Amino acid sequence: MLFRLHYAELCKAVVRITGSRETAEDLVQDVFHDLWKKPELDIQSNPASYLRRAATNKALNWLRDHKQWEQIDEPELLPQLPDVNTVQPLEGTELSQKINQAIEALPERCRAVFVLSRFEELSHLEIANQLNISTKTVENQITKALKTLKHLLSGSLSLLTALIIKYL
Amino acid sequence: MNDHTYLSLLVKHFKGELNKEEQTQLKDWLAEDPARQFEAEQYHKLWLASATVASDWQPDTDAAWAKFSKTIQPVPTPSTPLPERKTPDFNNPSSSRRTSWLLIGGALVALLLVVAVILSRGRAPRTNEKHENKTPAVQQIALQDGSKAYLKPGAVLEKLDNDSERAYRLDGTAFFEVTKDPEHPFIVYTQYGDVNVLGTSFNVSVAKGGFLKVSVLTGAVKLNIKDLGKEANIYPGYSVTYMPGDQKLNMAQQKSIPENLGITKEINFNNTPLEEVLATITREFAVNIQLVNAAMNQCKFTGLFNIQPGNRIQCEQMLQGICTTYGMELVVLDNFNYRLKKGVCKR
């Protein structure tokens, strides 16, 4: 039951971090294997939260094991973006897909840091500790991600007016 | 301040991580030029929108399950109920001894059970404790063991004579608050499954249509459907529906229990420390609340609420109200997890 209910959702969360669907599926399978092998685990209070945390940790471990990121921020090329002037306003699902595609198109480290910040609600310090990078690098990667997304989606931002903005 | 520094501060602002000095710095910088304010708003829209998009990728759960199930061994089924067993459920068929049909772990469980067409099981002699609600309103019943039952109009609850169990047969819809007594499991028998409870509160609803639905607020429940030979562990915030004739149990997440019979509870906070307020909300709604600013714990809160236990929509509204009072920011992580950021004790 838990498997069928959460598998797809967990895969979608993990693929945002790893960037690989195949890896995401393998890691989520591992999460359920771990759970299966440890029946003494008490996940009754909040299984969704437990599984999400376990899957994120799997993804972070995978990143640490498979990605050798430098401490020093090296300039990374921005992904290939369409000409801003050709970006047409998008609506609803199309806009959502566009944002999703833009996130997926971010450079690997940039995407991982941004996803951990936005989807997993981790602080700069938590991300830095998890990925073994500096908080300055985290900061830089997030701003880089935002700049890239803004550039890519500049023609669509006007449609997001429903969101309440209140500053300082 | 260059663009990069400004954007870094803006991101920290979005995440609620700005200190006072940085806050002033950013505020001044934005105030210098309306164009900057406009751009900041664009970034904020993007920031908010980026957290809400869903991937269009649909992993093949059936194929994944087939792969997973080949690599695991079946979980042995206990021959007798194990009150504290905490085994993850993977929808595996298992034997269906009546004693393990439903197993509740934990001190407090809230459960909703919707059953259509309840038939007498003839399990045990009936006693004289029989309640039938012939009124048009929900009726509260005090059971012999101190537990409470709230019967919906038309519901019939009858105690079965069984020394080792607090056993009832239900026909209709009811909400239960069960006193804790591990030595004497509380069981509600229905046509499709039995509910075994150790110290809990739960809903039981019966309607025409032929289905069984179990929803849990807190604690855990093990449901066994004899006809299918399948078990399901049900956890807080989840419901399982069984339609006779179907070959599977359908589990779903729920934001709240809709069939709660309209039962409400009054909670009165009078200069109560916020720490205690949040503990009460955690308990009543079965959620996790993280207060980031520990200094807020001792803020005094006053307010009167009429709540429906387990209604997480209402929970979110309460938390939002508290956040507004103290200038805190509410972050909804998911249906069960909330984070309260920032805030100042005032009033």
| Global ipTM | 0.70
3 state SS of B253 = strand
Q: Residue A167 is encoded by which pair of tokens?
A: 């500053």
Q: pLDDT tens digit string along B184-204?
A: 777 777 766 666 564 455 555
* Interchain contact, A5 vs B41, CB within 8 Å: no
Residue B277's pLDDT is what?
Answer: 93
Beta strands (DSSP E) in B92-193 are: 104-105, 110-115, 126-132, 139-142, 148-151, 156-160, 166-171, 174-178, 186-189
- Chain A residues closer than 8 Å to B61 by CB: 3-4, 7-8
How close A38 comes to chain B (CA, Å)?
A: 8
Contact B282, B289 (CB under 8 A): yes
Report yes or no: B43 at the A interface, CB cutoff 8 Å. yes
How close A102 comes to chain B (CA, Å)?
A: 10
Residues 6+ apart with CB under 8 A from B303: B268, B269, B321, B322
CA distance A78 to A66: 22
How close A166 comes to chain B (CA, Å)?
A: 9
Sign of the CA dihedral B91, B94, B98, B100?
negative
* Interchain contact, B64 vs A7, CB within 8 Å: yes
* Interchain contact, B43 vs A150, CB within 8 Å: yes
Tens of pLDDT along chain A (168 residues) come to 678 888 888 898 888 888 888 999 999 999 988 888 776 555 555 677 778 888 988 888 888 777 655 443 443 433 333 333 333 333 345 666 777 788 888 888 888 888 888 887 778 888 888 787 888 889 889 998 888 888 877 666 554 443 323 222
- Chain A residues closer than 8 Å to B13 by CB: 168
Residue A27's pLDDT is what?
Answer: 94
How close B197 comes to chain A (CA, Å)?
A: 15
Contact A42, B86 (CB under 8 A): yes
Residue B52's pLDDT is what?
Answer: 60
DSSP string, B179-214: ---TTS-EEEE-SS-EEEESSEEEEEEE-TTS-EEE
Report yes or no: A45 at the B interface, CB cutoff 8 Å. yes
Mutate to test the interface with A, among B50, B58, B71, B323 (most CBs of A within 10 A): B50
How close A37 comes to chain B (CA, Å)?
A: 9
Q: Which of B46, B75, B88 sits opposite A43 (nearest CB)?
A: B88
Helix axes A124-131, A108-118, angle to 10 degrees: 130
3 state SS of A27 = helix
- Chain A residues closer than 8 Å to B251 by CB: 1-2, 4-5
DSSP B246: B
Contact B236, B286 (CB under 8 A): yes
Residue A122's pLDDT is what?
Answer: 79
Mutate to test the interface with A, among B27, B32, B46 (most CBs of A within 10 A): B46
Q: Pick out chain B residues at pLDDT < 50.
A: 74-125, 198-199, 205-208, 258
Q: pLDDT tens digit string along B42-84?
A: 787 777 777 666 666 788 888 888 888 877 654 443 333 333 3
Q: Residue A81 is encoded by which pair of tokens?
A: 């973006």
Report yes or no: B61 at the A interface, CB cutoff 8 Å. yes
3 state SS of B157 = strand
Residue B107's pLDDT is what?
Answer: 26
How close B212 comes to chain A (CA, Å)?
A: 16
Q: Residue A22 is encoded by which pair of tokens?
A: 């195949």
CA distance A51 to A34: 11
CA distance B287 to B174: 24
Mark which residues 73-132 of A lie under 8 Å from B by CB: 95-97, 99-100, 103, 114, 117-119, 121, 123-124
Residue B242's pLDDT is what?
Answer: 73
* Interchain contact, B54 vs A45, CB within 8 Å: no
- Chain A residues closer than 8 Å to B218 by CB: 45
Residue A28's pLDDT is what?
Answer: 94
Residue B40's pLDDT is what?
Answer: 83
Mutate to test the interface with B, among A14, A21, A44 (most CBs of B within 10 A): A44
- Chain B residues closer than 8 Å to A167 by CB: 30, 37, 40-41, 44
- Chain A residues closer than 8 Å to B337 by CB: 46, 49
pTM: 0.44
> Rounded to 5 degrees, what angle do the CA atoms B97, B102, B104 make?
135
Helix axes B61-70, A2-18, angle to 10 degrees: 110
Residue A120's pLDDT is what?
Answer: 77
CA distance B264 to B252: 24
Contact B309, B259 (CB under 8 A): no
| The one-letter amino acid at B9 | L
